[in-house]
Structure 1
Amino acid sequence: MLQEVNARMSTIPGFNQIQFEGFDRFIDQGLPEELYKFPKIEDTDQEIEFQLFVETYQLVEPVLKEKDAVYKSLTYSSELYVSAGLIWKTGREMQEQTILLGNIPLMNSLGTFIVNGIYRIVINQILQSPGIYYRSDLDHNGISVYTGTIISDWGGRSELEIDRKARIWARVSRKQKISILVLSSAMGSNLKEILDNVCYPEILLSFLNDKEKQNFGSKKNAILEFYQQFACVGGDPVFSESLCKELQKKFFQQKCELGRIGRRNMNRRLNLDIPQNNTFLLPRDILAATDHLIGMKFGMGTLDDMNHLKNKRIRSVADLLQDQFGLALVRLEHVVRGTIYGAIRHKLIPTPHNLVTSTPLTTTYESFFGLHPLSQVLDRTNPLTQIVHARKLSYLGPGGLTGRTASFRIRDIHPSHYGRICPIDTSEGINVGLIGSLAIHARIGFWGSLESPFYQISERVTGLQLLFLSPSEDEYYMVSAVNSLALNQGIQEEQVVPARYRQEFLTIAWEQAHLRSIFPFQYFSIGASLIPFIEHNDANRALMSSNMQRQAVPLSKSEKCIVGTGLERQAALDSGVLAIVELRERLFIPILIRSFYQVMGILTAFH
C-alpha cells in the first residue's frame, strides 16, 4: 500500500534536464528545419543547379573524447554530413556526393559545451513574445491614447494608434507614420476586402480625408505613398519592381515575420483562424487589430500586461543554436554562389565537393561561443554554482533589455512568476531582477513558455493527476498553496486554505480549489531551496544567502551537512563532480549479503 501511494508522488526532475531537452530539440527539429530552408542555387544562365538533400543528413560520433578535448584545448564537436547534388539541366545529368558542412559543438553530460578546451554554458533568455499587445497612455492633455504594438519574430516593432482627432495610424518607425488604410492597400487589399473584414466599416471610412479617398483602392499609389513615407524620400518616386523588392526587404521581412509562436499568439488575441504555416503578417491581421483598437477606444476589450509571463517566451539553447546554424547556411549560400560563378568564368567543371566548404559553419559557431553575451564560461567555484549557472534566465542580451534602461516594473516580482521563476534568487547590483533563476519544477513548453506542474483536485478522478500549465492557463484556476505528503492521504484536509486566482491571493474553502502545488519548494530555485528554514528568513537575507552559497570554496574532504533541506544529494549528483559507481543488481546483492554476514560474524565473535 505504501509503495502504491508513493508511486503517485512527483519526483524532482534533473537540474540539467532543461539544457538536455533544448539541445535534443535543436538536433531533432532545428537542424532539418534550417536545412529545408536552404534554396536551390542556379548560375546566371540557369544551366547548373545546386541543392542539398536534407533527408540524408547525419552527425558522426566524435573521435575525440571530452577529457581529451579539455586536455588538448580543442572543441568537442561532431561532423555534419549532407548529400548534395549538382544538376546539369542541358544534359539532364546529376552528380551526387556526400559533403562535409562543418563541425557542430556537442553538449556533454553536464549540459555544457567544450570549446577550445573551456567549459561554456548557454544561458536561457527571456524575450517579449511575438504578437500584438494593447496599451493605453496619457498624452500631455491627459487624454487616453490607445496603441497596439505588433512585435515580429526578429524583435521589430510596428504600432497602430488612434490620435486625438480619432484617426488611425500605423507607425512603422519612431518618426514616420502612415494611414492604416494605405498600409492595408500596400499589402494587397482592395476596398471590398477591407470593408468585408472589419466590424466597424463606417467608423473606419470616417477616418479618411479627401486625399486618401481619391488614392484609396489603388495598390500602386498605396505602395508609392508608403515607400515615400517609410524611406523618407523627397519628390515623387517611380513605381518599379526594384522599389517593391526594397520595401519587401527593409520592412515586411524585418517587421512582419511573426514565426510560429507569433502566429499562434496573433490568432488567439484577435480570434482568427489563419493557418499556422502563414508566419507573416497579413492584411487580415492588420484589419482585425484595427477592429480591436477601435473597440478599446469605446471601452470594449482588455489591455495587456506586458510583464505577464504569458506575454514572454524563452529563447533556449535550441533557438540560439538554430539561429546560428541558419546564419551559417546563408553564408554558405553566398560562398557556393560565388564559387559557381567563378568556375563558369574560368571554364572549370564544378563538383559538390569543390563548391562546399566547412569554414562558414565552423567559424560561425566559434564566433558564437566566443563572443555572444549569452555564451559564458561555466562557473566552477563549487558544485552548486555549476547547476545554478545552467538554470539562469536573463533579460539581457541581443534583442533583450539593458541594465540601464530596464524599468522597475520589469525587475519586480510578478504573480505569474510563482512556480516558474524564483522570487528570491537574482543578481545583486545593476542587474537585480534582470537575471533570475528557474524554479525547481519549471520547464520550457513547446511554444517557448514556462510551465509549472500542479495536482488536479477533482472528485471524478481518483488519485493525483499531474498537470503542466502555462502562465496563460493557470490564472483561470484557483490554485491552492497547501501541500500534503503522500502518507497523509487519510487525514482530512483543512477547511480554509490560501489560494491564488487571477494574480490575486485569496482565502477560499478547500472544495473551491481546482489545483494545488506539488512541493513546498516548488516556488524557489535550487539555490534558495538549500537554505534551511528559509520560510523564517527575511527575503533580503535569503537573497544574500543564496548568492553567498555560490561563493563558498569546496572542502578538500567532503562532510555531510548538519542541517539540510533534503535536496543536497540531488544537487551533488547533477553537478557532475562526484565519482558515481554504477553496479548491476546481480552484483550488488551478493556484496550486500556478504557484508551482512561479515557484520553478523563480528557481532557473534564479540558476544
Structure 2
Amino acid sequence: MSLHTFGRIKETLPLPPLTEVQLKSFYDFLQLNVLPDKRRSAGLQGAFLEVFPIEEGDGRSRGGSGLVLDFLEYRIDQPKHTPAECRERDLTYQAPMFVKLQLIQRDTGLIKEDSVFLGDLPMMTPDGSFIINGAERVVVSQIHRSPGAYFTVEPRGAKEVVAASIIPMPRRGPWLELEFDNANVLWLKVNKRKFPVTLLLRVLGFNADAVRALMGPTAEALEPTLREDREYAPSEALLHLFSIMRPGEPPREEKAVAFLFNLLADPRRFDLGLPGRYKMNHKLEGVYREMKWKLPKYSSEDYAQTLLSYDPAQAAKSGLYFQDQGIVPTVRYLCGLHLGLPGYEVDDIDHLGNRRVRTVGELLGDTIRLGLGRMARGIRERMLLGAPEAATPQKIVNNRPVVAAIREFFGRSQLSQFKDQLNPLAELRHKRRISALGPGGLTRERAGFDVRDVHRTHYGRICPIETPEGANIGLISHLAAHAKVNALGFIETPYRKVVKGKVTDEIVYLTADNEDKYIIAQANTKLGKDGVTLEGVRGRVVARVRGDPVLVLPERVELMDVTPKQIVSVSTGLIPFLEHDDANRALMGANMQNQAVPLLRAEPPLVCTGIEDRVALDSGTLVLAEEAGVVSTVGPRLIKVKNGKVEKEYPLTRFTRSNQTTCIDHQPVVRPNQKVQAGDLLADGPASRQGKLALGHNILIAFMPLEGYNFE
C-alpha cells in the first residue's frame, strides 16, 4: 500500500530514539564501555567514590593509625541467563557485580587487595525494561524541584514577604530557608531551628562593617538583623550557633567545628550536585560579579578542604568567604528583592527551568549509595572489633545491605512499576512517562492546581494533552515526541537556527531557561519560493517571546520550531487531524489508544500521521535483522538468516501471555531465500502489520458536521 503525504511542512528532523530516556540513562550509570581509570564520578562510580574510603572510627580522622578500606574499580560480568530464559523460568535478568578493594593498615603500611562480590545488579533489556522474577517492569522517571536557590513571595496576613530557599539534591541534606519576620529581621532556618543570618556571617569572620561592605547597595535590608544580633567574635558566634542548633549538648569548640563542617561543607551531608551548582550560578551570576567574587566551580571538594582547617581565631584574618553553597550571594539577592531594587526577580517554581527529571540511572545510583552507606557502618564496626592483622576486604565486607537496597527498589518503589504490556504503544508510553509522585516527590492530596496545570515551558518538552483523567491529572505526564533529557536532568527541545531571516537546517537543543532569551517562529511559518526565507503577512511573522505571541520582522527571528508535532507526545501524535479535535476529547483519545487489545488480524490504518512505523520499531516488539543476509529458514518458532557461512537464528515468541494477559505473538513476514538488509523486518509483533502500528480496524462511518452545532 503506497503512502500519500498531505503535509505541507518539510520534516527536517526525524524522531529521536523513543526509548533513549531509559537506555542512555542506564548505560551512562554503568559506564561499562569506559576504562575503569577514565570513568566519571557519576552514576555507579560516583556512588562508590562518595562512600569510600571507609576509615576506622568516625571516618574523618586524618592520618594516625587504624584500617582504611579504599575502592579501586568495579566490574560487571555477563548475565547468566538471556532475557527470554528469565521470562520463561521466572528469574531476574541480572549480572554479578564485583568490586576491587584495597585494605591499608596505616601502622604497618601493609596493603591487601581483593575482589569482592557485591551482589547481582538487574540489567536493562534492549527495549528499556527490567525483568524481575520473570515479570517485566519499568522504572518511571521522576520530575522534581531542581536543587539551587529559589526566591518566592509568600503572603503573610495583609502583606507579602519575600523568602529564599537553598535546596540540595534529594536526600543530600536539609533545606536552608531564609525569611524576614514582621520586624524585618532576616532569619536562617535549618532543620526547624532558626537564628539571625548575621550570626553565621560572624562565624565566618565578618563583623558588622564587613557585612555592610559585603552587602553593598542592599546592606540597608540587614540593619534590623545587625541590631538584633549582638557583636560576637567568631569563636563566641560559633559556640552560640552550636547551642541554638544542638540545645541539649554542652558547647565545645571541636564539636562545634565538626558540626559546622557537617552542615555546610561535607558533600555527604549537604550537596547541591551539578544541577544545583549550575542553577545557583545561573541565578546569582550578576551578584557574584557585583561582589567581585569568582563563580564557584561545580565541586564542593575545594571548599570542604578550606573548612577542614577552620580555626575561629583565624576566621577574621583569613576572610573565609562562604562561597560554595552560595549563602552570602543568596542573602544579598534576597535583600535586593526585599528593598524592591530593579533587576531582582522572584522565581516561578512551575517553570521547567526550575524542575528536573531524575531518570533510572540517577534513581538506581541513589539506591546503591543508600545500600553502600549502610554497608559502610557495618564495615566500621568490624574494623573496630576484629584483629587488624587478620582483616581482609573479603572478611570485613558484608554485601547484604546493598542486595537488600536493590531488591527493595525494584520490588517496592513507587517508581518501579509492573510494565504496561497491553499493546506496543502502551509499552513505549510507559517508558516515556514522567511522574511527580514517588519518594521525595508530591502526594496526590498535597498537589495543588498550579503544579498540575500546563505551563508555557511545557511547549516541546512535556505533552499538554496526555495525562490521566483521575486523581493523578497533571502529576503523571509524558515526554513530547522530540524532547530529550540532558546530562543535568533538564528537558530540552530542538529548534532550527534562523540567520538574517533565512532558516537553516542547523539544530540546537534548548532548556526552558535558555529558550527564554530568544524570539522563536512557529514551524508552519510561511517560507518563500527558495524554501528558506521567512515570509510574513504584511512583512511580519508570528513568533513568541517567553511564551507570548508577538508580530516581528523576519530578520529579528532567531529560531524556528522543527515540526508542529514537537509539542505533543507520541500517543497524541498518532491522532490524525489533532488540530480539529477538542482538547478533552484528544486527551481521551490519547489514553484510549493505549487500552486497545491486539487483534488476531491486525489492519494498518488508512489514515495515519506518519509515526506509526517508528512507534512499532522503538517499542521493541518487532523482530529485525541484525545483519544483511539471505533468509534460509522460516519456521513457526524460528527464522534463520545466512550471511556467508554464518547462520544467525532469530527465535520467535508464540502465543505468550503478557503482563496484562493479552497475547504476544510474532508472525513472520519474510520468505525463504529472500534477501534482507540489517534493520529489515523479519516478523511482526502484536498490534503491528508490516512494521507499522495497527491498533484497530478501519471502519466505515457517516460524519455530519452541522456547523459545529452537534458537538457533544
Q: What is the TM-score normalised by the length of structure 2?
A: 0.75
Is the Cα contact below 8 Å between 1:100 and 1:357 reproduced in 2? no
> Does 456-465 or 534-543 show the bigger shift?
456-465
Q: Which residue of the other structure, out of 255, 263, 269, is the alignment partner of 2:277?
A: 263
Is the Cα contact below 8 Å between 1:482 and 1:498 reproduced in 2? no
Is the Cα contact below 8 Å between 1:224 and 1:237 reproduced in 2? no
Match runs of 1:47-196 below 5 Å? 48-54=66-72, 56-140=73-157, 142-154=158-170, 156-174=174-192, 176-186=193-203, 189=206, 194-196=211-213
- SS of the counterpart of 1:516? strand
Provide closer, same or farther for how the CA distance between residues 116 and 192 of structure 1 changes in structure 2, counting only shifts above 3 A: farther
Provide closer, same or farther for how the CA distance between residues 259 and 72 of structure 1 changes in structure 2, counting only shifts above 3 A: same
- SS of the counterpart of 1:283? coil
Is the Cα contact below 8 Å between 1:138 and 1:145 reproduced in 2? yes
Is the Cα contact below 8 Å between 1:189 and 1:283 reproduced in 2? no
The question of 1:547 aligning with 2:618 is answered: no
- Taking the aligned partners of 1:308 and 1:478, their CA distance within structure 2 comes to 18
Amino acid at match of 1:230: M
Q: Give a deviation string over 1:328-384, Cα, whole Å, max 9, x none.
A: 21122123223333432xx88222222223323222111111111111111101111
- Taking the aligned partners of 1:405 and 1:209, their CA distance within structure 2 comes to 37
- SS of the counterpart of 1:305? coil
Q: Which residue of the other structure, out of 293, 300, 322, is the alignment partner of 1:283?
A: 322
Amino acid at match of 1:32: Q
> Does 409-418 or 572-581 show the bigger shift?
572-581
Is the Cα contact below 8 Å between 1:133 and 1:150 reproduced in 2? yes
Provide closer, same or farther for how the CA distance between residues 566 and 484 of structure 1 changes in structure 2, counting only shifts above 3 A: farther
The question of 1:220 aligning with 2:235 is answered: yes
Amino acid at match of 2:448: S
Amino acid at match of 1:385: A
- Taking the aligned partners of 1:330 and 1:359, their CA distance within structure 2 comes to 12
Q: Which residue of the other structure, out of 491, 495, 498, is the alignment partner of 1:454?
A: 495
Is the Cα contact below 8 Å between 1:134 and 1:303 reproduced in 2? yes
Amino acid at match of 2:486: G
Aligned to 2:444: 403
Amino acid at match of 2:352: L
From the two aligned structures, give the one with the greater helix fraction: 1
Provide closer, same or farther for how the CA distance between residues 120 and 166 of structure 1 changes in structure 2, counting only shifts above 3 A: same
Q: Which residue of the other structure, out of 238, 241, 265, is the alignment partner of 2:251?
A: 238
- SS of the counterpart of 1:424? coil
Provide closer, same or farther for how the CA distance between residues 66 and 188 of structure 1 changes in structure 2, counting only shifts above 3 A: farther
Is the Cα contact below 8 Å between 1:154 and 1:255 reproduced in 2? no
Q: Which residue of the other structure, out of 553, 571, 574, is the alignment partner of 1:527?
A: 571
- SS of the counterpart of 1:37? helix
The question of 1:332 aligning with 2:375 is answered: yes
Amino acid at match of 2:375: L
Amino acid at match of 1:66: P
> Does 222-231 or 63-72 show the bigger shift?
222-231
Provide closer, same or farther for how the CA distance between residues 46 and 511 of structure 1 changes in structure 2, counting only shifts above 3 A: closer
- Taking the aligned partners of 2:534 and 2:442, their CA distance within structure 1 comes to 45
The question of 1:473 aligning with 2:518 is answered: no
Aligned to 1:308: 351
- Taking the aligned partners of 1:517 and 1:217, their CA distance within structure 2 comes to 58
- Taking the aligned partners of 2:19 and 2:227, their CA distance within structure 1 comes to 63
Provide closer, same or farther for how the CA distance between residues 202 and 337 of structure 1 changes in structure 2, counting only shifts above 3 A: closer
Q: Alignment identity in percent?
A: 31
Task: Give the CA deviation at 1:302.
Answer: 1.2
- Taking the aligned partners of 1:543 and 1:211, their CA distance within structure 2 comes to 56
- Taking the aligned partners of 2:484 and 2:562, their CA distance within structure 1 comes to 15
Amino acid at match of 1:332: M
Task: Give the CA deviation at 1:472.
Answer: 0.9
- Taking the aligned partners of 2:577 and 2:503, their CA distance within structure 1 comes to 34
Task: Give the CA deviation at 1:83.
Answer: 1.7
The question of 1:26 aligning with 2:44 is answered: no
Q: Give a deviation string over 1:246-298, Cα, whole Å, max 9, x none.
A: 56657876984322221222122122311221278973422222221221122
Q: What is the TM-score normalised by the length of structure 1?
A: 0.87
Provide closer, same or farther for how the CA distance between residues 349 and 125 of structure 1 changes in structure 2, counting only shifts above 3 A: same
Amino acid at match of 1:524: V
Q: Which residue of the other structure, out of 6, 12, 16, is the alignment partner of 1:13?
A: 16
Match runs of 1:386-401 below 5 Å? 386-401=427-442
Q: Give a deviation string over 1:165-206, Cα, whole Å, max 9, x none.
A: 3322223355x4321101223456555653443214752662
- Taking the aligned partners of 2:497 and 2:440, their CA distance within structure 1 comes to 37
- Taking the aligned partners of 2:396 and 2:219, their CA distance within structure 1 comes to 59
Q: Give a deviation string over 1:143-163, Cα, whole Å, max 9, x none.
A: 231111221223632222223
Amino acid at match of 2:513: S
Is the Cα contact below 8 Å between 2:184 and 2:225 reproduced in 1? no
Is the Cα contact below 8 Å between 1:182 and 1:222 reproduced in 2? yes
- Taking the aligned partners of 1:46 and 1:159, their CA distance within structure 2 comes to 39
Match runs of 1:307-456 below 5 Å? 307-344=350-387, 349-456=390-497
Aligned to 1:600: none
More contact order relative to length (CA 8 Å, sep ≥ 6): 1
Provide closer, same or farther for how the CA distance between residues 186 and 115 of structure 1 changes in structure 2, counting only shifts above 3 A: farther
Task: Give the CA deviation at 1:486.
Answer: 11
Task: Give the CA deviation at 1:453.
Answer: 0.4
- Taking the aligned partners of 2:527 and 2:86, their CA distance within structure 1 comes to 46
> Does 199-208 or 497-506 show the bigger shift?
199-208
Amino acid at match of 2:53: K
Is the Cα contact below 8 Å between 2:166 and 2:176 reproduced in 1? yes
- Taking the aligned partners of 2:521 and 2:555, their CA distance within structure 1 comes to 11
Provide closer, same or farther for how the CA distance between residues 426 and 255 of structure 1 changes in structure 2, counting only shifts above 3 A: farther
Provide closer, same or farther for how the CA distance between residues 85 and 149 of structure 1 changes in structure 2, counting only shifts above 3 A: closer
Is the Cα contact below 8 Å between 1:62 and 1:77 reproduced in 2? yes
Aligned to 2:694: none
> Does 19-28 or 69-78 show the bigger shift?
69-78
Task: Give the CA deviation at 1:124.
Answer: 0.9
- Taking the aligned partners of 2:54 and 2:409, their CA distance within structure 1 comes to 27
- SS of the counterpart of 1:522? helix
Task: Give the CA deviation at 1:90.
Answer: 4.2
Task: Give the CA deviation at 1:542.
Answer: 0.3
Q: Give a deviation string over 1:429-481, Cα, whole Å, max 9, x none.
A: 11101110000110111221100000001149884110001111111111111
Superposition CA RMSD, Å = 3.2
